[in-house]
């Protein structure tokens, strides 16, 4: 006699059960951090620029061939390395203003964010090279002013021009901080670009 019981409905196996689709990963934009770092870069380059531009001191010094001391002025425009340093800081300061405004625009309208991140990565590396090279050149000349070089016959000038040398040291230290900020900005741009490409 045939069974009248209804057959059990087929129970799906684990392989047949499809999990609900996962929501797409939420994109994290770091443009607020980018704007903060660029504002810090502006403050650092402007401060280093002002400190370096105001580095000036006049002292009575011995000049070879003159039997008495004469007033001799020390200022940044007397050294090509310091002029390059001021020019590099000026370019970096202007660059920080332009890119800060661009980042604020990308926060408001993020349509072109990916292409801007690529440009930021390129330009940040270029600015880093300019600022780091200028800081190294100025630091080398400042070190000779501080320590002298007995082999080349260059005397120490910082014992005489102490205020001038303090300005130099402060400006170079702030420019080193600006270089670190540019490294962080480059890393942030590359990381943000990488996370967008992986999506």
DSSP per residue over the chain, as a string?
----SPPPPPPPPTTTPPPPPPPPPPP---HHHHHHHHHHHHHHHHHHHHHHHT-EEEEEE--TT-SS-EEEEEEGGG-HHHHHHHHHHHHHHHHHHHHHHHHHHHHH-GGGHHHHHHHHHHHHHHHHHHHHHHHHHHHHHHHHHHH-BTTTTBPP-TTTSHHHHHHHHHHHHHHHHHHHHHHHHHHHHHHHHHHHHH-
CB-CB contact of 113 with 31 (8 Å): yes
Distance from C-alpha of 103 to C-alpha of 21, rounded to nearest angstrom = 34
Inter-residue contact 40 to 181 (CB < 8 Å): yes
pTM of the model: 0.80
Count CB-CB contacts under 10 A for residue 79: 17
**9-50 tens-digit pLDDT:** 555 555 566 666 665 555 556 788 999 999 999 999 999 999
Task: Name the band, by pLDDT with cuts 50, 70 and 90, for residue 126.
Answer: very high
Contact between 49 and 86 under an 8 Å Cβ cutoff? The reply is: yes
Which of 41-45, 60-64, 77-81 is predicted least confidently? Answer: 60-64
Give tens-digit pLDDT for 103-122. 998 888 877 777 888 898 99
Nearest to 125 by CA among 182, 40, 192: 182
């Amino acid at each position: 006699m045939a069974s009248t019981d209804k057959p059990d409905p087929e129970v799906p196996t684990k392989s047949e059960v499809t999990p609900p689709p996962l929501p797409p990963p939420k994109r994290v934009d770091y443009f607020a951090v980018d704007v903060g770092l660029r504002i810090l870069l502006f403050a650092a380059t402007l401060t280093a620029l002002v400190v370096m531009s105001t580095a000036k001191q006049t002292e009575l010094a011995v000049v070879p061939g003159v039997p008495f001391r004469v007033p001799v002025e020390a200022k940044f425009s007397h050294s090509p390395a310091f002029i390059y340093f001021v020019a590099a800081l000026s370019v970096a300061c202007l660059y920080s203003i332009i890119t800060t405004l661009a980042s604020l625009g990308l926060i408001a309208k993020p349509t072109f964010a990916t292409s801007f991140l690529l440009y930021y990565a390129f330009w940040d590396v270029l600015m880093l090279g300019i600022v780091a090279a200028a800081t190294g050149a100025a630091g080398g000349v400042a070190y000779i002013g501080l320590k002298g070089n007995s082999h080349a016959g260059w005397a120490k000038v910082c014992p005489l021009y102490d205020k001038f040398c303090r300005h130099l040291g402060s400006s170079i230290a702030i420019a080193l901080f600006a270089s670190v900020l540019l490294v962080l900005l480059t890393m942030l741009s590359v990381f943000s670009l990488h996370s967008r490409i992986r999506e």
